[in-house]
Each structure stands twice: as structure tokens, then as C-alpha cells.
Amino acid sequence: MEKLLLLGDEAIAQAAIDAGMSGIYAYPGTPSTEIMEYVQASAEAKNRNIRSIWSANEKTAMETALGMSYAGKRAMVCMKHVGLNVAADAFINAAITGANGGLLVVAADDPSMHSSQNEQDSRFYGKFAMIPVLEPGDQQEAYDMVHYGFQLSEDMQIPVMMRITTRLAHSRTGVARKEQKPQNELRLPSNLRQFILLPSIARKQYRELLTKQERFEAASGNSGFNKLTDHTDKKLGIIACGLAYNYLMENFPDRNVPHPVLKIGQYPVDPALIDSLYTSCDELLILEDGYPILEELIRGMLNNGKRVRGRLDGSLPRDGELNPVIVGAALGLDHARGNDVPALVKNRPPRLCDGCGHNDAFLALNEALLEYGRGRVFSDIGCYTLSALEPLESINSCVDMGASITMAIGAADAGLVPAVAAIGDSTFTHSGITGLLDAINNNAPITVLILDNSTTGMTGGQTSSAFGKVEDICRGLGLSEEHILVIKPLKKHHEENIEIIRKELAYNGVSVIIPRRECIQTLGRKLRQKAKMKELEITQ
């Protein structure tokens, strides 16, 4: 079959369509977003009636996928690494319930934090949940592993995780497809109590999970994704996980590494495979594009065995993404560097688009807050977080989705009154609603700005679950009408906006101000589409 030129994310999406997936659920987050976007744009997916839904957050997405698995069909849930923190309750417990229809959880990590708050390694979650984890080394393997993962999930009756990183997700290459499979029929679990985690049942299910571990290890030994290539120079043995294998190979133009190499693509790893490398080599080098998970396991807390090199002994940097040069240096290989970056080259950080409504909202907020002084604006995650940078420098926190409102409550309780929360519309429905309920129930003296640009801007303009609902949600939570105020963040309304914010800052209770103006980017896209439609009408 002809190869398709696909991003890693797109390869995963195409594979899921081909492997008979019936539904995909996700909340956007770099670098995982393009998986859902590909399915939503796919005519094949539409023809096959595949459900493809942006959920309110990662937890609801995970649970919806689990529900589809309960009903016997194949489901996928996708998120960025920190999304798994949000979905963790459902995720960990899904390992106890087990799966019925194939359930694949895709977690996209971001080593080097290109677009994230941290670089947590989702393989830890996989180990925590004690489920199989797949870590593709390239886009083709990602495609193949989706097919394998769904099958493994059904064979072992367990959710399977696929862990990818930014580089794989956002790199494009030719990918060959497999034959398409039909979707599963609706089929209830053979044991109708499998998903009831009452203690008496959960204990039994958990023991079953424990006994499955050996089968998981055996599976990783048989799948072909963990492969030992022997070689003569046994002074060193190399373990390369996922993408790190490519960085290793890049250092050997003939692809011939003089040492034994164990390529890892599936966990839990069969200990026998590690043992054969460990006993036959003088020392080991462990390459992981993430946390030193295998390295820590093999080296052990006491580190009193053979020398194990990697991120923990300084052979590789402790943090950040790997690359061919870093891996080459760990092998003692030299490389030529180009010229230095000339001193005149200036940083060019990301910034709010020209004409973005967030800019006007924060200009007004900055001015309204002048009389109280700086340091009292708790923000959240989205385009508006860029207001932390010059020239606005409006906000003082960005921690996790939803934390703006709740941190403001805590700070106000400590005496920082008024405290301000700034949260985007999509972040509000992701994790802000419960925090606002806390604030209202406790009559916290906080002013909440729900910056409503009618989209999920930061990740490229996906539909926002909050669309058209923000005021109703606030009312429903019990907020009184006079403290729900919509403003238009435009230069011409600057003075009146300052006045409104000032008045609510002085109010000793919860108020919500909603600066509402559509994102320039999504608006532009819509207008261009409209123009194109018109053109088509004229030419037809």
C-alpha cells in the first residue's frame, strides 16, 4: 500500500481508525491534540461512524472511553502528560476494573517542556497502574503498536497505555497502513460485576491484576517491540527506550553499533532480557527520553552492582529531551559544532496575537488594580498566560488547570483581599467550575475574570465546552445576577471596563466578570471560509 506522510499523532489516529476503533475522547493539549483533529477531519472515520468528541476534561474523556470499553467496543482516549494527572483517578481504577473492548490510553509527554508546565514521564503512571505500556520508537511503530495495543487490551482484558513524546508526535514521515478491521459488536462484559469496585470485588480484581503481571512481561518478550541485538564489544551494553534508539543509531552511519543493544518499546520489560544483557556486559548505558525509570530500577537504590550509566550518574543530562549529540557524547563520540549564535540575536518569545481580546482585558485589569498594588492575580493556563510576559506582566501564577480560582480563595483567606482569578472559558469548564462553587459557598472575596474567547485558543482553536454557557453555569452555581458582568474587551470600552472591574474588586464577595470577544485566529479562519464559500457560489 502507498505510504502516507503522517505526523506521529496522525499515524496513531489513522491506525485507530484502521484497527476498528469505535470512539475517541480527548481534551486538547500539546503534543497530543492532532490525534483527535485527524480523526475529526477524516472522511473514513465519518463513514465508519466513529465518535470523536472533545470532552470537558481528561477525566471525563477517560471515563467515557472506559464506558465504551465496558460495552465491548474499542475506544481511545488521548491527552497530554499533565492531563493524566486530571484523569488519574479514573485511569488507576480502570486498571482494577480491567477492560472489555480494547482500551488504549495515549499520553503525550513533553520532555524539555516545549509547551508544558513540567516534563513528567507517563511511563511512571503506567507502572503505578500496573498496566502494559507501549513506547513507539518511530511513527511506523506507533501505527503498528495501536493495532497491537487494542488486541493486547482485549486479550488481557486490561487498559493499555501508549506513551509518546513531542518529537514523535510532531514529526512527519512515510507510514504504511495495515488492512482495516471492522468494529466490534456491542458486547457486555461476561461478568457483570467486573466494573463494580466495591471492596469485596475490588480486592478480587486487584489480585487478578497482580497475577496478570507475569503475562504482561511475557507479552513484552514476545511482541518483537523489545529486541536485543548482540555484538562483540561487551565492554558496554546499551538499553535504548523509544525514540532514544534513533538517536543512538544516528551516531553510527552504517547503523552498526559495536555493542549489544536492547531496544525497548514495551513495558513491563521481561527481566530475563535485561539479565542477559547485564550479565554479558561490563557496564550498561541506559537511554531514556524522559525520567530515568529503567535506569533507577536496574541500578537499584544501593547501586552496588555493575556500573549503570545514564541520567543519574551524569553520563546524560538529568533533565530535558535527548538528541543525537547528547547520546553520542555519552558514548564518547565527538562531533563538529557549527558557529555560535551571534550575540545580536535576540529572544523572540511567544506573545498574544495583535488584536487579541485578552490584551484589552488585562490592560483594564492592570489599571483597575493600581490602587491595590501588584501580586494578587492568580491565573490559569491558556493564551492569556502570556500576559505574564512584558509588556503586560499582569499575572502571578500559573500552576494547573483550574488553580486560579481556588488559589485566589486561599490567598483571600490568608488576607490578600481582593484576590483576582483569571481563567479562560475552556479552562473554566475543564476544572474551574468546582472551584467557583467553593468560592460561592464560602462567599470568598475574590473577583474572577472568565476570559471568554469562545474557543480553546492555546491549542489551536478547538471547540470549547463552555461555549454559550458561562453565565448560566455561574447562575446555576448560585452566583447572584448583579455580580455576573459581561464586558467587551475593546480599546473603545477601556474606561468603562476599568470602572466595572474596580467596582467588583471593592465588593466583599464573589463576582465574575466575563470579558467576551472571539479569538482573532478562529474568527479569521471563519471569515476566510465564508469568503471561500461565497467564491464557490459565484463560480458555480
Partner 1 sequence: MKKDIILAGVGGQGILSIAACIGTAALDEGLYLKQAEVHGMSQRGGAVQSHLRIASTAVASDLIPEGSADLIISVEPMESLRYLPMLSRTGWIITSINPFVNIPDYPDMELILKEIWKQHHYVTLDADAVAKECGSMKAANMVILGAAAPLLGMKPSAIENAVEKIFASKGKDVVELNLKAFHAGRSHTMKQM
Ligand X SMILES: Cc1ncc(C[n+]2csc(CCOP(=O)(O)OP(=O)(O)O)c2C)c(N)n1
* One residue of 20, 83, 189, 290 binding ligand X per CB under 6 A: 83
- Which residue's CB is nearer to ligand X, number 64 or number 223? 64
Q: How many residues bind ligand SF4 (CB under 6 A)?
A: 10
| Closest CA relative to residue 387, chosen from 467, 487, 446, 458 | 458
The runs of H, that is alpha helices, within 225-323 are 244-250, 271-280, 293-299
The runs of H, that is alpha helices, within 255-356 are 271-280, 293-299, 324-330
Q: Is residue 5 near partner 1 by the rule CB under 8 A?
A: yes
Buried b (16+ CB within 10 A) or exposed e, 383-394: bbbbbbeeebeb
Residues 314 to 343 in contact with partner 1, rule: CB under 8 A = 323-325, 328, 335-342
Q: Give the side-chain half-sphere CA count within 13 A for 116.
A: 24
**Residue position matching grid coordinates 510576559:** 389
Instruction: Quote the CA–CA distance of 325 and 113 in Å, as a whole number.
Output: 19
Q: Is residue 227 near partner 1 by the rule CB under 8 A?
A: no
* One residue of 102, 137, 435, 457 binding ligand X per CB under 6 A: 457
* One residue of 458, 484, 500, 510 binding ligand X per CB under 6 A: 458
Residues 17 to 36 in contact with ligand X, rule: CB under 6 A = 27-29
- For residues 358 and 451, the answer to whether their CB atoms sit within 8 Å is yes
* One residue of 194, 455, 465, 522 binding ligand X per CB under 6 A: 455
The two most distant CA atoms of the chain are separated, in Å, by: 78
- Which residue's CB is nearer to ligand X, number 322 or number 466? 466
Burial class (CB in 10 A: 0-12, 13-18, 19+), 320: middle
Q: How many C-beta atoms lie closer than 10 Å to residue 537's C-beta?
A: 8
Q: Is residue 134 near partner 1 by the rule CB under 8 A?
A: no
Instruction: Quote the CA–CA distance of 168 and 34 in Å, as a whole number.
Output: 12
* One residue of 246, 453, 465, 497 binding ligand SF4 per CB under 6 A: 453
Residue 170 interacts with which of ligand SF4, ligand X, partner 1, none, CB < 5 to 8 Å by class: partner 1
Name the closest residue to ligand X (Cβ). 424
* One residue of 20, 23, 31, 268 binding partner 1 per CB under 8 A: 31
Q: How many residues bind ligand X (CB under 6 A)?
A: 24
Q: Is residue 237 near ligand X by the rule CB under 6 A?
A: no
Instruction: Quote the CA–CA distance of 459 and 1 in Å, as a whole number.
Output: 33
For the CB of residue 193, give the shortest distance to partner 1 in the complex, in Å.
43
Q: Which residues bind partner 1 (CB under 8 A)?
A: 3, 5, 7, 30-31, 33-34, 114-115, 167-168, 170-174, 243, 246-247, 249-250, 255, 323-325, 328, 335-342, 344-353, 383, 386, 458-460
Q: Which residues bind ligand SF4 (CB under 6 A)?
A: 352-353, 356, 358, 383, 453, 457, 519-521
